[in-house]
Amino acid sequence: MRLSDTYTIDLDGIDKIILKELMQDAKTPIAKIAKKVGVSSTAIHQRIKKMEAHRIVLNAVTPLNYKVLGYKTTAYVGVFLDKSAHYKDAINAMEKIMEITEAHFTTGNYAIFIKILCRDNDHLMQVLRKIQEINGIDRTETIISLEQSISRQINP
């Protein structure tokens, strides 16, 4: 069961500092954050746990340099469904394609907008074929990213 994302939580100054530190480096020691804000490590730990419970902090992820790992092609794909009722089935099938790193249910031209990481254009073509074979998908439009110019999280 998925919790609702429609509620909001008010953060105080300490919470915002904690989030900024964790966004810069998810492995920042709790003691370092505690020293910076002038409270105990236990208090920082409790605040992080509270933010996790409220789904502000979803998980600690270390950003990877995908290009160094061999994934040099990033593409965004707009997916057209033959019927909107096929959305869940299409998403379930796309979850099995590991190169798909994001999927969004959208307004506008596309029913679904996805992000794909691939080793090269040949690999991208293989992934696109898998996607286009999914029941309920009518067609796709692909945009290849030439460069990621901005990558950041929102400042809380």
Domain extent listing, the chain:
13-53, 73-145
Query: DSSP assignment of 68-113, as one string?
Result: TTT--EEEEEEEEESSGGGHHHHHHHHTT-TTEEEEEE-SSS-SEE
Give the distance between the most distant pair of CA atoms in the chain. 57
What pTM value is reported for the model?
0.75
Task: Judge: domain 73-145, CATH 3.30.70.20.
Answer: no
Which pLDDT does position 5 carry in this prediction?
57
Q: What pLDDT digit, counting tens, does each position of 20-47 carry?
A: 888 888 888 999 999 999 999 999 999 9
pLDDT at position 76 over 90: yes
pLDDT at position 156 over 90: no
Task: Judge: domain 13-53, CATH 2.40.30.20.
Answer: no
pLDDT at position 1 over 50: no
